[in-house]
Amino acid sequence: MINKNEKIFIAGHRGMLGSALCRNLSALGYSNLITRTSSELDLTRQDAVFQFFNVEKPAYVLLAAAKVGGIAANISMPAQFLYENLNIQNNVIHASNFSGVKKIVFLGSSCIYPRDCSQPMKEEYMLTGKPEPTNEGYAIAKIAGLKMIEYYHRQYGLKGFSVIPCNLYGTNDSFDPAHSHVLSALVKKICDAKKKGDNQVVVWGTGNAKREFMHVDDCANAIIFLFENYEKNDFINVGTGEDISINTLAELIASKVGFKGDILFDINKPDGMPRKCMDVSRLHRLGFRHSISLEQGIDKTINEYNNLEIK
């Protein structure tokens, strides 16, 4: 049983998932959440991280901090994605182990499964093939994080597990075209086209790639559920178990926005993995299911973008 008054360090609390974890933990009565901005604590610096752990001595760690971005960012900055994420993970997991943390939860990503993975992707399919080349730097870093959790438990007894979320979207996601995820990028592109009166929008790839989307609040609730109830030292998929093609997603957003123009696909741009749908049967057997439908989540995201534009 977790004492809700004990210190929980939320690494990456300003990000989309980290902020959702903070909101939802606070709503559940967790009263001692520890956070630091990147200017207050540079997680890529080992000395700074160790000093923080020595002073604050958190009982639990939720490691949501990472350098993240969409397909364009991953293609253009693979070294940066690999270097920064490895440093963040290495420092936080290592410090957690040697400062007596009771449990750590590491956040991975569905993009770490092999590019040509059988669908839906089961946990046992991990490392059965090569990752998607367009996000290989990020994927290799995240795979290393999963293995650190596994090996630090095996060698030192560190308690913890890793979560593999599907594609996330929702509150506090970035709408910056250089860094946004696919659903938020499409919402911005189509909303902007509607406002400008454009007669077409151009989307990367063929439109045939399929993705699984989960609202960030559902994902945060799943992680908290596992944090409170899951005692194994492995990794587990978190998602909806349902996917949709990028073409169908774009059409759905267009219908909700009221955009009547053409949706064109730039086939000279990459699709990324052809399909990413996860097997979430383990999560369902444990007793958790998502509650926000894709249509409800898209409505929320459109409203959030429009409100952001007004401000």
Question: Measured between alpha carbons, how far is 17 from 172 in angstroms, rounded to an integer?
Answer: 8
Contact 103, 160 (CB under 8 A): yes
Query: Out of 113, 138, 230, 305, which one is annotated catalytic?
Result: 138
Contact 174, 219 (CB under 8 A): no
Question: Measured between alpha carbons, how far is 18 from 11 in angstroms, rounded to an integer?
Answer: 7
* Structure-token pair, residue 51: 């000093």
* Structure-token pair, residue 167: 């594609």
Active site residue 138: yes
Residue 102 dihedral angles phi and psi, to the nearest 5°: -80, -35
* Structure-token pair, residue 65: 């901090």
Handedness of CA 217, 92, 34, 137 (dihedral sign): negative
Which residue type sits at 176? Answer: D
Active site residues: 138
